[in-house]
């Protein structure tokens, strides 16, 4: 069994109005060091043992559903889960 | 002409769509549940607005994998008119039946009011009852109607006259004020504004009616030879 942590973020070229609003607020609070805020999504998947290559599988899931690659990029980390 | 109004869990403009077709247009309409496997009996497919699957993940991202979507794709390939309004537009872009993507409005606000649209292309099966360049008043009600596409896609849309409606004034950040686009073939239209909410003076205007009349007119003309 594997745990897959998927991070979906807006592409660099795409304006992130939520991130801009949060950054504006942080600046008002006095945190002038903050130069950019981008908001994304974090998903955790538990993948059962399978003959399929897990990277190929996760890429497929991301491309078909979890991310919309017109505006989003994704990356992921895979961890082994030791069953109890 | 017989229309299917596709009902997803979370659709909420399906009744308005049904009313527009049945009562204002006088054509046939049926509600079709999202797991239906056969749309062959319908002449036109309508994807209504709402919040299918709660807009979870992204607006339209889950609905596009509904059982009925293979049939919607088949209907589109067969040249039948397919109209997606608001969430219906979002589902069509997620499904890849229309290019681009609808993002969060630039001001993060859900905007619910009547706006002016310009008819950019009156030579489609959805707009032949309008005049080119005509300004019409149609309600919008969305938080994610900020149309985005890359430069190459925009150029393609422009070169092929696929931009059907634009907003007279920008309010949501859509690229070049795009409010509605059609596919290459011209039989799939997606638009954020709600023409089905502008079909009676009683509810504030009738500027949406010509859109539905256009579909029926085109259908009658193309089927008269077979009669």
Residue B2 pLDDT exceeds 90:
yes
Rg (CA), chain B: 16
A64 contacts: CB under 8 Å, gap ≥ 6? none
Would you say residue B160 has pLDDT above 90? yes
pLDDT of residue B224: 74
Length of chain B: 227
CA-angle at B99, arms to B95 and B105, nearest 5°: 95
Give CA–CA dist B141/B158, Å, rounded. 26
pLDDT of B61 above 90: yes
pLDDT, position B208: 98
**Cα–Cα distance between B168 and B150 in angstroms, integer?**
22
Mean pLDDT in residue range B81-96 = 98
Summarised one tens digit per residue, pLDDT across range B163-182 is: 999 999 999 999 999 999 99
Pull the structure tokens for residue B58. 């992204």
Q: Which residue has the higher pLDDT, B226 or B69?
A: B69
The whole-angstrom separation of Cα B46 and Cα B40 is 14
Q: Can you tell me the distance from the alpha carbon of B32 to that of B14, in angstroms, rounded to the nearest whole number? A: 10
State how far the alpha carbon of B77 is from the alpha carbons of B72, B81, B163, B192, in Å: 9, 10, 20, 23
pLDDT value at residue B142: 97
Alpha helices in A3-82 (DSSP H): 17-28, 54-61
B27 pLDDT more than 80: yes
Q: Which residue in the set A21, A66, A68 is minimally distant from B108, CB to CB? A: A21
Chain B: closest CA distance from residue A51 (Å): 25
Residue spans of beta strands (DSSP E) within B48-187: 82-85, 101-103, 111-119, 135-142, 146-148, 163-167, 178-182
- Please report the pLDDT score of residue A84 as a whole number: 65
**Rounded percentage of chain B residues whose pLDDT exceeds 90:** 96
Using DSSP, state whether A78 is helix, strand or coil. Answer: strand
What is the percent of chain A where pLDDT is above 90? 85
- Predicted confidence at residue A17, as pLDDT, reads 87
Among B61, B96, B110, B156, most A C-beta atoms within 10 A, so best to mutate, is B61
Q: Which two tokens stand for residue B218?
A: 């085109």
Q: Where are the alpha helices (DSSP H) in A29-53?
A: none
Measure CA of the first residue to CA of the last residue in chain B; give whole Å. Answer: 13
- A81 near B CB under 8 A: no
Q: Which residues of B are catalytic?
A: 86, 194, 196
CA B169 – CA A10 distance, rounded (Å): 26
> Model pTM?
0.94
Q: What is the mean pLDDT of each run of 10 residues along chain A (84 residues)?
A: 96 89 96 96 95 95 96 96 76
What local confidence, expressed as pLDDT, does residue B226 receive?
Answer: 55
CB distance A54 to A78 below 8 Å: yes
Q: State the virtual CA torsion across B129, B83, B204, B24 in degrees, nearest 10.
A: 70
* pLDDT tens sequence across B127-152: 999 999 999 999 999 999 999 999 99
Three-state DSSP class for residue B54: helix
Residue A56 touches chain B, beta carbons under 8 Å: no
Residue in A closest to B148 by C-alpha: A71
| Burial state string for B37-74 with b = 16 or more CB within 10 A and e = fewer than 16 | eebeebbbbbbbbbbbbebebbbbbbbbebebbebbbe
């Amino acid at each position: 069994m594997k745990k897959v942590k998927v991070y979906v973020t807006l592409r660099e070229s795409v304006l992130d109005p939520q991130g801009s609003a949060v950054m504006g607020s942080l600046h008002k609070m006095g945190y002038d060091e903050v130069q950019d805020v981008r908001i994304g999504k974090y998903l955790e998947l538990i993948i059962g043992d399978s003959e399929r290559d897990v990277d190929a599988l996760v890429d497929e899931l991301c491309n078909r559903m979890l991310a919309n690659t017109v505006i989003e990029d994704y990356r992921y980390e895979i961890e082994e889960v030791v069953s109890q | 002409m017989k229309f299917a109004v596709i009902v997803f869990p979370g659709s909420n403009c399906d009744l308005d769509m049904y009313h527009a077709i049945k009562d204002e247009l006088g054509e046939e309409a049926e509600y079709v549940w999202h797991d239906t496997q056969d749309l062959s009996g319908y002449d036109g497919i309508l994807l209504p607005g709402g919040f299918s699957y709660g807009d979870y993940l992204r607006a339209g991202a889950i609905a596009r994998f509904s059982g009925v979507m293979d049939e919607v794709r088949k209907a589109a390939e067969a040249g039948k008119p397919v109209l997606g309004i608001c969430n219906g537009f979002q589902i069509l872009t997620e499904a890849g039946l229309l290019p681009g993507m609808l993002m969060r409005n630039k001001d993060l606000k859900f905007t619910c009011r009547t706006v002016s649209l310009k008819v950019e292309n009156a030579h489609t099966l959805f707009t032949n009852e309008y005049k080119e360049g005509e300004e019409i008043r149609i309600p919008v009600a969305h938080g994610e109607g900020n149309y985005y596409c890359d430069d190459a896609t925009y150029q393609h849309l422009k070169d092929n006259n696929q931009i059907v409606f634009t907003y007279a004034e920008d309010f949501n950040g859509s690229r070049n004020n795009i409010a509605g686009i059609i596919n290459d073939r011209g039989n799939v239209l997606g638009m954020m504004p709600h023409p089905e909410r502008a079909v009676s003076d009683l509810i504030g205007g009738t500027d949406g009616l010509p859109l539905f009349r256009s579909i029926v007119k085109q259908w009658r003309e193309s089927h008269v030879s077979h009669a």
